[in-house]
Amino acid sequence: MDVEVRRRDLPGLGKQFEIGCDKGGRVAVVVQNNGARHLYTFEPAEDAASTALTLDEDQARTLGAILAGVFFQPVGADHDAPAVFGAVAIDWLTVDVPATVVGDVVPVDHPSATLVAIVRDEHTVMKPGPREPLHAGDQLLVTGHRSDIATVRAQLTGTAAG
C-alpha cells in the first residue's frame, strides 16, 4: 500500500514531510538545513502538535532504521511482501540455500538491486562487499524494484522467481 507523503519547503529552515495515520492523526517531520530533525504528532482535526521531539542526526537515523525493520522484523500475515515506497521496494530475505558470496546473489553492477546489510546472529555487516560470504540463516536487507527482490528471493530459496 502506498502512503502519501506531503512535502513542503520551509524557506531558510529546511523541509517538512507529513503522513496521515490511523483514525485521522498525522505525523510530521521537519528536517532543518543545519541537520536537526523535529518529529511532531497531531491528533485528528487538530492544528497544534500534541507531541514534539527534537532528534540529532544519529538519533533520527537510528529511529528510521528501527521503523524500517533493520533491528527487528516482525512476522506478519504477509511476510514475503516487500515494503514499497514509490518504485523502491525494501525487504528482509533469509538465505536458505548455500550461496558462496554476496556478488553471486546481488552483483555489484546490478542496475537497481542493492544489498544494504547482512544480519548474522548478533552481528551486522553494513554495505557488504561482493566477496562477503553468505551463510544459511543470514538475514539480508535488500532494496530495488519488486521484480529484483523476487529474483534475489528465488536465488536464496532455490525456487523460480515469480
Beta bridge partners, 9, equal 15
User: What percent of the chain is modeled with pLDDT above 90?
Assistant: 25
Its pTM surpasses 0.75: no
Grid cell for residue 119: 544480519
**74 belongs to a structural domain:** no
Whether the per-residue pLDDT at 124 is higher than 60: the answer is yes
How far from 126 is each of 37, 48, 70, 132, CA to CA, in Å? 24, 39, 11, 11
Q: Are residues 47 and 91 in the same domain?
A: no
Predicted local distance difference test score (pLDDT) of residue 16: 94
SS3 content of the chain, % helix, strand, coil (to 5): 20, 35, 45
| Cα(96)–Cα(109) distance, integer angstroms | 24
Q: How confident is the model at residue 120 (pLDDT cuts 50, 70, 90)?
A: confident
**162 belongs to a structural domain:** no
Whether the per-residue pLDDT at 76 is higher than 60: the answer is no
Q: Are residues 61 and 98 in the same domain?
A: no
Handedness of CA 75, 77, 79, 82 (dihedral sign): negative
| Average pLDDT score over residue span 115-138 | 87
**151 belongs to a structural domain:** yes
